[in-house]
Structure 1
């Protein structure tokens, strides 16, 4: 894809995203994605050789191989959002093999899914595309629904499947968050012992995070702190929603904040807010992948490009997009994934 096509997709907002210069945290202070990021950043860490090897495997697969960026297809919505609601737009994806095919044909670095999905086709595909096994989930059949991630399997089971990485979610801010922190920290410790990369979905869940018709679940300051907690328990990559606003701590009246968080470390621009998320991941030592969000139909392609441009220009590591890709015909899903990847392949789209 040429920059012109990206400009066309962005329309009137092209300059807002592509020409913006970040005036908060200078890019020179960041550890940015690169072909040799494992050698430059992770060799200094306490991660063992098999973990570094699996990290390199992730980075060397798919259309983004050798760039330092990641394009991951995540499909765990059958549990998180119920299977019927998730796959009704395209029932082909009730069959796990089609999920893997979408990731392979879409040129992804890896596919992230459940024990059941990946295990059902592991012998056919685990050596063809890196597997990321999601360890825990929030199932929605219990009534009333609660915000509680529980383990669905073991780290050893994921390792036996041939996975190169494990993923987990913590609902920071929820009533069960402290138990989840302990469980995931222990799981990540064992995953590293076995040589697997660890990826943490650093999400927020608490009804109190909504005030005066403003939802602060995607506030830059709150999500940034969630990322900081995530890297503290040794996530190698953090997954986070793109910031939608800022000032959660101030407007909700809890936690601790400093006015410079909003004036010097960030601003109202999406790239600055995303950079604040990255800063909280040890200045980018731990890569940030932003989620693609729900499918809204006609605007999906533009929305995906906006998220990719913001993530890349902020200094992020890539995108993990599921529903926008699998809730449409496979050919269109592949095109959307490729469009996201083309943003990261475009050398004219630079760090802000």
Structure 2
């Protein structure tokens, strides 16, 4: 996708997103993605040589290889949203091999999916594309529905099937968040011992985070603090939903905040809100990859490209996009992934 097509796709938001100048956190304060990111950031850390190698493997695969940006295909919705609901739009993906084929054909840096999906195909594909094993999930077969991430396998098992990284979710703010935090911290410690990189899905989850018609689960202040906790337990990469608003702490009247969080450190512009997320990832030392969101049909391409532009201009490291790609015909899924990657390859789209 060329720049002119991208501008047309963004429509009325094009000027706001492509010409915005950020006056909250200066870009000079950020540790931005680049070809030397592992050397520049992780070489001085406590990560062992095997972790450095696997991180470099993630940054060296697919169409974005050598750029410092990431395009990851995640498909754990068969557990998180039920297989029928997730794969009914395209039953091809009931077979996990097609998930890996989509990631390969789509030029992704890595594929993130379940123990079962990767385990069946490890010997065929582990050397062809980096594996990210999602080690915990929220299953939806318990009634009434509950939201609780539980371990589905061990870190050792992920290592045995050739994973370059493990991924896990913590539902920050939930009743079970303390247990999840302890479990995932221990899992990440073991993953680093074995040489695998770590990626944390830093999601907020609490019914109180909805106030009337306003949902603060994607508020910049709440998600930013979730990111900060995630980096603290040694996540190398943070996955977070794109922020849609701010002021969660003050609206719900809990925790601690400072008025400058909503004035000097952020504005209502989505790039500034996302930069606040990046700042909470130790100023980008842990890369921020925003999630692509659920499929909406005809607007998926526009929304995916919009998210990529916001993430890149904010100082993020890429997208982890699944449903918008696999819940459509295979070829169109590949085209959508390529369109997102084109944003990160474009020299016309720069840091705000």
TM > 0.5 between the two? yes
Tell me by how many angstroms 1:4 deviates. 0.7
CA deviation string 1:298-321 (max 9, x = no partner): 000000011000000000000000
Tell me by how many angstroms 1:12 deviates. 1.6
Q: Give the aligned partner of residue 210 of structure 1.
A: 210
The alignment status of 1:194 with 2:191, answered yes or no, reads no
The alignment status of 1:100 with 2:97, answered yes or no, reads no
The alignment status of 1:46 with 2:46, answered yes or no, reads yes
Q: Give the aligned partner of residue 261 of structure 2.
A: 261
Q: Give the aligned partner of residue 71 of structure 1.
A: 71
Tell me by how many angstroms 1:145 deviates. 1.1
* 2-structure distance, mates of 1:94, 1:123: 20
The alignment status of 1:7 with 2:22, answered yes or no, reads no
Q: Give the aligned partner of residue 17 of structure 2.
A: 17
Aligned with 2:288: secondary structure?
Answer: strand
* 2-structure distance, mates of 1:255, 1:47: 32
Tell me by how many angstroms 1:212 deviates. 1.9
Tell me by how many angstroms 1:112 deviates. 0.1
Q: Give the aligned partner of residue 160 of structure 2.
A: 160
CA deviation string 1:7-46 (max 9, x = no partner): 1110121111000000100000000000000011110100
* 1-structure distance, mates of 2:270, 2:350: 15
* 1-structure distance, mates of 2:143, 2:186: 28
Q: Give the aligned partner of residue 348 of structure 2.
A: 348
The alignment status of 1:62 with 2:58, answered yes or no, reads no
Tell me by how many angstroms 1:240 deviates. 0.1
Q: Give the aligned partner of residue 307 of structure 1.
A: 307
TM-score of the aligned structures, taking structure 1 as reference length: 1.00
Q: Give the aligned partner of residue 144 of structure 1.
A: 144
TM-score of the aligned structures, taking structure 2 as reference length: 1.00
Q: Give the aligned partner of residue 179 of structure 1.
A: 179
Equivalent residues in 2 for 1:203-352 (5 A)? Answer: 203-352=203-352
Aligned with 2:336: secondary structure?
Answer: helix
Q: Give the aligned partner of residue 86 of structure 1.
A: 86
Structure 1 runs (4+) greater than 4 angstroms displaced: none
Q: CA RMSD, aligned part only?
A: 0.4
Equivalenced residue count is: 352
* 1-structure distance, mates of 2:225, 2:294: 23
Aligned with 1:41: secondary structure?
Answer: helix
Tell me by how many angstroms 1:182 deviates. 0.2
CA deviation string 1:259-283 (max 9, x = no partner): 0001011110000000000000000
Tell me by how many angstroms 1:297 deviates. 0.3
* 1-structure distance, mates of 2:217, 2:162: 34
